[in-house]
Amino acid sequence: MADHFTDMNIFLTGFMGSGKSTFGRKLAKQLSLRFYDLDKMVEEKAKCSIEDIFKYLGEDAFRKMESECLHTFEGQENFVLSCGGGTPCYFGNMEFILEQGLCIYLEMDEASLFNRLVHAKNVRPTIKGFTEEELKLFIKDTLAKRREIYERAHLVIPVLNLKPAELKELVENHRKA
Ligand code: S3P
């Protein structure tokens, strides 16, 4: 099967720290699709970092900008978009994503998310300054709220130990099915 896909729009969703950007970039390259990172698009739109948007404008303003950036993909084709962890959970964004392309949930368990986020918690505004216990609780509570939405994805892929080539194969198989 050729590596080049046309008419292919892939939205990667999942909790922060699950590897959406890393997998997204690799998947786009393997399938010769354009790659976009929604967090980066919001930063470009706001002309400041996500951290500063949260700090000076607040989360509501961030969610609004995030949703506006997401909707610029309406009708677009041949891309992989790595969404932010909260993207599908606001303003009915999951409906939009499911309509516009193939939605993939990169699923990771709480303990693995904790291990990945504990080292990066000071660069992520929603978990900045948390103690380890607070972080554990945040992951548990937030995942409990979001899981139902994430699981509406067309493909739910456990991401622990997943290789980029395996993700590509799962996408290709889904497309053939
Ligand atoms: C968020 C996840 C972040 C970013 C923002 C809020 C969330 O994206 O959009 O800090 O609410 O889960 P990543 O999942 O790419 O870290």
Ligand 1 lined by 50 (C-beta under 6 Å) = yes
**What is the pTM for the complete model shown?**
0.94
Nearest CA, atom 2, ligand 1? 85
How many beta carbons lie within 10 A of that of residue 20, not counting itself?
A: 28
What is the C-alpha to C-alpha distance for residues 64 and 81, in angstroms, rounded to an integer?
Answer: 18
**Is the sign of the CA dihedral 172, 22, 42, 98 positive or negative?**
positive
User: Which atom of ligand 1 has the smallest separation from the CA of 42?
Assistant: 9
What is the CA(86)–ligand 1 centre distance, in A?
6
Domain ranges for the chain, please list them.
Answer: 9-108+148-176
**Is the sign of the CA dihedral 157, 161, 164, 165 positive or negative?**
negative
Interval 42-75: pLDDT, tens: 999 999 999 999 999 999 999 999 999 999 999 9
Q: Could you tell me which of 44, 95, 94 has the C-alpha nearest to residue 65?
A: 44
Tokens representing 152?
């509406």
By the 8 A CB rule, do 103 and 155 touch?
yes
What is the CA(13)–ligand 1 centre distance, in A?
10
Q: Which fold has domain 9-108+148-176?
A: Rossmann fold (3.40.50)
What is the C-alpha to C-alpha distance for residues 151 and 49, in angstroms, rounded to an integer?
Answer: 29
Interval 81-121: pLDDT, tens: 999 999 999 999 999 999 999 999 999 999 999 999 998 87
What is the CA(3)–ligand 1 centre distance, in A?
30
